[in-house]
Amino acid sequence: NAGVTQTPKFQVLKTGQSMTLQCAQDMNHNSMYWYRQDPGMGLRLIYYSASEGTTDKGEVPNGYNVSRLNKREFSLRLESAAPSQTSVYFCASSEGVGYSYNEQFFGPGTRLTVL
């Protein structure tokens, strides 16, 4: 099992460009999450999908959109990238609400730089 995979691993964008970060999990998890990690800020939730067909905003959703394509895949789109979106982006998945402590499994991350 690959667990949670993310593509691309690295990306450099110019201000105003758009891109989509891809995430897939092979653990048959119901819930998926997108976080960004900035120095001194920990992990901040951007969007999450509690189950296939649903998405909800997290703590820092502005400038992002998401799509839960199917149970396995959850993508994050930046429509018009800004330098403030320079960060490391992590996708995570979990069994979902109602499953004990709901451990989240993380992907390896995407390092995004916006010039």
Partner 1 sequence: QKEVEQDPGPLSVPEGAIVSLNCTYSNSAFQYFMWYRQYSRKGPELLMYTYSSGNKEDGRFTAQVDKSSKYISLFIRDSQPSDSATYLCAMSSGNTGKLIFGQGTTLQVKP
The residue ranges that bind partner 1 (CB under 8 A) are 4, 31, 33, 40-45, 48, 50, 58, 90, 92, 94, 96-97, 101-109
C-beta closer to partner 1: residue 79 or 103:
103
C-beta closer to partner 1: residue 14 or 62:
62
C-beta closer to partner 1: residue 6 or 85:
6
C-beta closer to partner 1: residue 85 or 94:
94
The pair of three-digit structure tokens given for residue 14, joined into one six-digit string: 């110019």
Residues 6+ apart with CB under 8 A from 100: none
Alpha-carbon span 75 to 73, nearest angstrom: 7
Provide the edge-to-edge strand list for the sheet that holds 64-68: 4-7, 19-25, 74-78, 64-68
Alpha-carbon span 50 to 15, nearest angstrom: 31
Contact between 5 and 106 under an 8 Å Cβ cutoff? The reply is no
